[in-house]
Structure formats: structure tokens, C-alpha cells
Amino acid sequence: MLRINPNFCRLESQYLFADIARKVAAFREEHPERRVISLGIGDVSRPLIPSVITALHKAVDEMGTAAGFHGYGPEQGYAFLREAIVAQDYATRGVSLQPDEIFISDGAKCDLGNFQELFAQDCAVAVMDPVYPVYVDSNVMAGRAGELTEQGWNSLIYLPCTRENDFVPDFPSTRPDIIYLCYPNNPTGTVLRRDALAAWVDYARREGCLILYDSAYEAFIREEDVPHSIYEIDGAQEVAVEFRSYSKTAGFTGLRCAYTVVPHAVRIHDGKGGKVSLNAFWNRRQCTKYNGCPYIVQRAAEAVHSEQGRREAQEIIDGYLANGARIANALRGMGLEVYGGRNAPYLWVRVPADTTSWGFFDRLLHKAALVCTPGVGFGLSGEGYVRLTAFGSPDDTTEAIERLRTL
Ligand SMILES: *Cc1c(COP(=O)(O)O)cnc(C)c1O
């Protein structure tokens, strides 16, 4: 009998953003005269930088010539981009990697969702709480998360991140095999300082765990003692895979390019007493299921690594960070506790004691026509917080701040 994969039936429908959209639509209907400003968007808003546009035009023209045409490319990505990444993103930070440890793709979300395929069904998985939903849902689809209960998925190990532990997760009481860490963090906007990240690398080495490190927001880091890469920590190349993306770094959310670093030094049990190279298995997986990121997009990504490209991309990020700082000031002026926002485009705001995540969402919507994201939508430890983003335009940010001040 044709039957749907039962693991997919366990997934909850994605009600968070649907619920938000429904509430906003109802508010607009009741108050057509009020302009709603969203501080909830998780997408960039500024256009692509000139360096990227120039590289795109050039690559498009090349594709129209017999000499410059590119068909199927290497599944792992072109050498020009893998070499630029090794030189610009890693060597400059004292990290030594080989180009064949870099795998180019069309998104970190796909890579993060796909990577769990390499692990046995009974591996124990730890995630931060609150959490970027992809890590959880992809393991649910693989049948690795167990059943959904009042406390979350009963086979997942949750690492609560709250004001009580300063958003630095404690080591779990049960040993995980795989640990997803995301820093700078979505949704909380908080970071791990060098000593805290080093402690997690030590833990993984001691306990034989693999860390899947999502550093999609590394380009927002402005403080010295916050590592951009997990490989800045000695020994991490044996226990960590790193995921990066041009989406937030250079506004590629619609263009699509990312990469995953799988060091040769990561070796995991084969179940027969030996060990295998994770790099070789990810390569095998990608060659079977993926045909590579488009040539013109990889040329555009290469341009982000040029001197001018880096400068242009950083100017845009500086603008987003400036928005975040202004919103944070306004909220603190209202007497609210605000976390994150300094090395990340997200602000994690503690709601007043008399309300909840959703209660505060309703208050902002009805009193100020502002949209935020209720923290509880990212996990149980997100109750009592809302997420605001700094991706709006400067003008919308200014108006949002004026409205906050009148609350
Ligand atoms: C935006 C984001 C990504 C990037 O995803 P892409 O598929 O590369 O656009 C990865 N991780 C987190 C936590 C994100 O918020």
C-alpha cells in the first residue's frame, strides 16, 4: 500500500508564522488607516551590492559565449570560490583549511537539513532551546526525535538558553552524539565568547560528540573575543562541521549560495570497529543528490570576497547593526530587558512580568501597529520573550522607535 512516511506525519504544521500573519491581517482589516511596520522579518531588505551585480553581469555574458559557457560544474563547487573562502574567511583568522574541505551549496538551510542523513538512526541529538526549527524538523523527518510531548520531542536533548544562564547552554546530563550550536544565535541574537566556545569544543572531544556549528551570522560579529569560526578553537577541526551562508553576509537570500566545511580530521565510527572520514561521506552524498550551485551565482559569491565586495557588504551590515542598536536603546528606555543585537541582527526582549510572548505581541500590534515574533514559537524556553529584527529600512526603524516611545 502506498503510504506516506509516518515520520512526516509527526511534524506539527508551521503555525507560528501562519498565526502571526492571521493576526496581522485581522488587525489591518479593523484598522485600515494604520500602517503596520514589521520588526519580525527574518529576511534582508537592502539590494545586492554593486560588486555582486557586476560579477553577475559578467558571468551571464560569459555563459552566452562558446568559450565561456559552463554546464554541469563540480558538485562540490568551483575551485575559484573554495580557494577564496579558504584564503579570506579562514586563513585571515589563522585557520588552515584545504579547498577540498569546503562544499559549496545553494543554502545553509538545505545543508543543515540534509547533514543528519549521514548519521545512524539511533544517534542522540542535542539542540539549543529556543532553536532554529530546521535542526529539529529534519531530525523529526528522519525518525530521530521520538514523540512530541508537553516538554518537546522526547528523544531530543534540549539545551535551554535563557537569561538565567546568560544564553550559554550548560552541558547536558545525558550525553549527545550530535550537538547543534548556532552563534551568533537566531533567534536570541546572543553570542558565545571564546572561552565558552572552547569549553564546548573540549566537551565534544572528551565525550566523542560532533558539533554542527551554524555561523550564518558571523559577518555581524564586531567584538574581539567572539570567534567567527569554531575552528578558531584548537582541536575543533576533529569534532566540528561548520555551516556558512552568503544570505545574511551579502544579501543572497534570493540568489542562493552557502557552504559547509567538513574537515578531513573529522572521523566517525563505522559500527564495525573502524572509523570513516565524514568528508568522504558528505562528498558521496552531495555527488549523488546535488548537481552544484550555478556558475554565475558562484562568481557573484566570489565577488563578495574581493576587497571592494567585503567593504560594500560590511557597510550594509553596519546599517542593520545601527538599526538594532537604536531599537535596543528605545526598548531599554521603556524599561525592558534586551539581549543580543550587538553582534547579530536579532534582539531578544524580555516581556513585562504581567504578560506572555503572545500577550506582548498583541500589545505591540494593537497599541503601536508593530509586528514582532513571539519567542515561544522557537521553543519552550522562548516563553517570556519576543524576537525583533534589525533588517527593516532606516526610515521604518525610526518610525518604529517613535511608536515604541509613545507606549
Ligand atoms: C538565515 C539562516 C541561515 C541561512 O540559510 P540559507 O539557506 O543559506 O539562506 C542558516 N541558519 C540560520 C540560523 C539562519 O537564520
Residues framing ligand 1 (Cβ under 6 A): 107-109, 132, 182, 186, 214, 216, 245, 247-248, 253, 258
Cα 216 to middle of ligand 1, angstroms: 6
**Core vs surface per residue 269-290: b (16+ CB within 10 A) or e:** eeeeeeeeebbebbbebbeeeb
Could you tell me the CA-to-CA distances from 379 to 19, 121, 217 in Å, in that order? 15, 23, 20
Q: Are 179 and 212 in contact (CB under 8 A)?
A: yes
Q: Please tell me the residue having the least CA distance from ligand 1 atom 15.
A: 186
Q: How far is CA 268 from the centre of its chain?
A: 25
Cα 107 to middle of ligand 1, angstroms: 7
Residue-level pLDDT at 376: 95
Q: Please tell me the residue having the least CA distance from ligand 1 atom 13.
A: 186
User: Can you tell me the distance from the alpha carbon of 276 to that of 37, in angstroms, rounded to the nearest whole number?
Assistant: 51
Who contacts 168 (Cβ-Cβ below 8 Å, separation ≥6)? 161, 192, 196
Determine the atom of ligand 1 nearest the C-alpha atom of 109.
7
Could you tell me the CA-to-CA distances from 273 to 178, 209, 266 in Å, in that order? 19, 17, 16
Cα 289 to middle of ligand 1, angstroms: 20
Pocket of ligand 1, candidates 109, 253, 317: which has the most ligand atoms within 8 Å of its Cβ, to mutate?
A: 109
Q: Please tell me the residue having the least CA distance from ligand 1 atom 11.
A: 216
Strands (E), 298-355: 338-340, 346-350
Q: Please tell me the residue having the least CA distance from ligand 1 atom 14.
A: 216
Pocket of ligand 1, candidates 115, 182, 241, 248: which has the most ligand atoms within 8 Å of its Cβ, to mutate?
A: 248
Cα 43 to middle of ligand 1, angstroms: 10
Determine the atom of ligand 1 nearest the C-alpha atom of 186.
13
53-306: CATH topology: Aspartate Aminotransferase; domain 2 (3.40.640)
- Amino acid identity at 333: G
Q: Are 91 and 101 in contact (CB under 8 A)?
A: no
Cα 76 to middle of ligand 1, angstroms: 19
Q: Are 287 and 72 in contact (CB under 8 A)?
A: no
Alpha helical stretches, state H, 186-272: 194-207, 246-250
Cα 214 to middle of ligand 1, angstroms: 8
Overall pTM > 0.95 = yes
Angle CA 194–330–23, to nearest 5: 100
Cα 243 to middle of ligand 1, angstroms: 9
User: Can you tell me the distance from the alpha carbon of 299 to that of 304, in angstroms, rounded to the nearest whole number?
Assistant: 9
**Domain 6-47+309-404 identical in fold to domain 53-306:** no
Cα 91 to middle of ligand 1, angstroms: 23
Q: Are 112 and 214 in contact (CB under 8 A)?
A: yes
Q: How far is CA 405 from the centre of its chain?
A: 31
Angle CA 41–178–128, to nearest 5: 35
Q: Please tell me the residue having the least CA distance from ligand 1 atom 12.
A: 216
Determine the CATH number of domain 6-47+309-404.
Answer: 3.90.1150.10
Query: Dihedral of the CA atoms 316, 44, 219, 301 (nearest 10)?
Result: -90
State residue 102 phi and psi, 5-degree precision.
Answer: -105, 130
Determine the atom of ligand 1 nearest the C-alpha atom of 257.
8
Cα 247 to middle of ligand 1, angstroms: 7
**Average pLDDT per consecutive 10 residues, the chain (407 residues; last block may be shorter):** 94 83 96 95 94 98 98 98 98 98 98 98 97 96 94 97 97 98 98 98 98 98 97 98 98 98 98 97 98 98 98 98 96 95 97 97 97 96 97 94 91
Who contacts 37 (Cβ-Cβ below 8 Å, separation ≥6)? 369, 370, 371, 392, 396, 399, 400, 403
Determine the atom of ligand 1 nearest the C-alpha atom of 110.
7
- Name the residue among 386, 378, 387, 383 with its Cα closest to residue 136: 378
Cell of 376: 515561544
User: Can you tell me the distance from the alpha carbon of 168 to that of 173, in angstroms, rounded to the nearest whole number?
Assistant: 15
| Residue 287 three-state SS | helix
Pocket of ligand 1, candidates 103, 128, 132: which has the most ligand atoms within 8 Å of its Cβ, to mutate?
A: 132
Cα 123 to middle of ligand 1, angstroms: 24
Cα 44 to middle of ligand 1, angstroms: 11
Cell of 7: 515520520
| Domain locations along the chain | 6-47+309-404, 53-306
Determine the atom of ligand 1 nearest the C-alpha atom of 246.
8
Who contacts 146 (Cβ-Cβ below 8 Å, separation ≥6)? 153, 154, 155, 156
